[in-house]
């Protein structure tokens, strides 16, 4: 398999499929080069900020994909360290203002955040 080039979509990176590619595109990350520049952690932050529901497997799968590894290769202390970073990211964004009109409306009627 050849390495993605500058203009290649994020799905040119092995182990990134169409669904995750769509979430990345919604966050403004559309090329493999841009994803590598941003890095998995900040890319997932951007995804969450644009509505992706936080899911630990998606978080570490993105890290693994950028390393050219399958998602299920993440184990032991490496997985534990990523869990700490993921939980910190969720906590950081939980205090962030909502971006969507729907979430603001839900907050106004007292149903709280969806995440």
Q: Is the pLDDT score of 83 beyond 80?
A: yes
Please name the residue that has the structure tokens 């590894």: 69
Q: ∠27-87-82 over CA atoms, to 5°? A: 85
Distance CA 115, CA 96 (A): 12
Architecture of domain 10-108: Orthogonal Bundle (1.10)
Query: What is the pLDDT averaged over residues 52-79?
Result: 94
Question: Which of the two residues, 52 and 106, has the higher pLDDT score?
Answer: 52
Distance CA 31, CA 10 (A): 5
Report the interhelical angle of 18-26 vs 40-49 (nearest 10°): 70
Domain ranges of the chain: 10-108
DSSP label of 112: -
Contacts of 14 (CB under 8 A, 6+ apart): 1, 65, 68
Query: What is the pLDDT averaged over residues 4-26?
Result: 89
Distance CA 15, CA 92 (A): 27
């Amino acid at each position: 398999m050849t390495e993605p080039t500058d203009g290649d979509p994020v799905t040119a990176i092995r182990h990134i499929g169409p669904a995750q590619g769509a979430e990345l595109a919604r966050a403004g990350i559309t090329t493999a080069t841009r994803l590598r520049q941003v890095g998995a952690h900040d890319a997932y932050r951007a995804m969450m900020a644009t509505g992706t529901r936080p899911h630990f497997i998606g978080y570490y799968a993105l890290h693994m994909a950028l390393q050219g590894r399958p998602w299920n290769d993440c184990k032991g202390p490496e997985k534990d360290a990523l869990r700490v970073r993921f939980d910190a990211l969720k906590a950081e964004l939980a205090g962030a203002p909502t971006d969507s009109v729907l979430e603001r409306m839900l907050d106004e009627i007292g149903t709280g955040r969806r995440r």
